[in-house]
């Protein structure tokens, strides 16, 4: 493991999305870390950026001197409104920059932002590959193992289990605007499969279309 890389964690911008798409594409093509099999175009990342912003959920990047080193976001865990205080996290670090503390920086800030948004539980769905780094990172930041799903994924010619990890978040007061936004959208609990928002039946939706599909008021944005 190399020394930690200096990086600034901040909200994503449109200008970051080419780098975000490239980071994710490498994992799609070379690993089973994600079960997606086709890289997402930048347009779909922008749809996701708008949607998460409208839902009051964080989408962050880590910026180093050499550019975007990784990204993280929290997405709704399930569509049903009763899940509205539970989110799923996604953290990806540029493959050539792993082991330098970027994942820990991103996940630490993401958890803080999720707590501020009103989330109470964060779920991590981790492909059970030969690399223990993701599970170890989550455990180091307070996640505990919640279960395992056997052979639910199939990619690169083999079946893959998933490990479920979970962390409870302390509550922080929310602003009136946040409360109104959550109340207007009975579902910041969004879509059932966050990994497929931009990649399947939701592909091509405008941000207004996304909000309508989720039962959101078109004016509920931040």
How do residues 170-199 score in pLDDT, each as one tens digit? 876 555 444 444 433 433 333 333 333 333
Average pLDDT over residues 44-69: 96
Q: Higher model confidence: residue 96 or residue 192?
A: 96
Surface-to-core class of residue 42, CB atoms within 10 Å of its CB (0-12 exposed, 13-18 middle, 19+ buried):
middle
Domain ranges in the chain? 8-180
φ/ψ (deg, to 5) at 46: -70, -40
Question: Is domain 8-180 given the CATH code 3.40.630.30 in the classification?
Answer: yes
What own/partner pairs with CB < 8 Å and gap ≥ 24 does 153-159 have? 153/32, 153/35, 153/127, 155/32, 155/35, 155/37, 156/32, 158/32
Token couple for 124: 């991590």
Average pLDDT over residues 147-154: 94
Q: Are 4 and 69 in contact (CB under 8 A)?
A: no
Token couple for 87: 């989110």
Burial 59-95 (b: 16+ CB within 10 A, else e): bbbbbbeeebbbbbbbbbbbeeeebbbbbbbbbbbbe
Q: Are 216 and 54 in contact (CB under 8 A)?
A: yes
Which residue in the block uniquely carries the two structure tokens 């996604």?
90
pTM for the structure as a whole = 0.79
């Amino acid at each position: 493991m190399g020394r930690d890389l200096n990086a600034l964690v901040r909200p994503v911008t449109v200008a970051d999305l080419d780098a975000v798409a490239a980071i994710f594409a490498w994992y799609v093509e070379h690993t089973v870390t994600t079960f997606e099999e086709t890289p997402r175009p930048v347009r779909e990342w922008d749809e996701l950026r708008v949607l998460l912003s409208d839902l009051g959920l964080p989408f962050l990047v880590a910026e180093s001197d050499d550019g975007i080193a990784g990204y993280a976001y929290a997405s709704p865990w399930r569509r049903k409104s009763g899940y509205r205080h539970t989110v799923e996290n996604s953290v990806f670090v540029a493959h050539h920059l792993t082991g330098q503390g970027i994942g820990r920086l991103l996940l630490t800030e993401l958890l803080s932002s999720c707590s501020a948004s009103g989330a109470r539980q964060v779920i991590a769905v981790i492909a059970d590959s030969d690399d223990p780094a993701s599970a170890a990172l989550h455990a180091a930041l307070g996640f505990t193992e919640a279960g395992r799903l056997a052979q639910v994924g199939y990619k690169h010619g083999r079946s893959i289990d998933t490990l479920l990890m979970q962390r409870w978040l302390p509550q922080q007061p929310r602003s009136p605007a946040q409360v109104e936004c959550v109340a207007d959208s009975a579902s910041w609990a969004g879509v059932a499969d966050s990994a497929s928002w931009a990649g399947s039946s939701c592909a091509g939706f405008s941000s207004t279309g996304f909000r309508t599909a989720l039962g959101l008021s078109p004016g509920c944005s931040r």
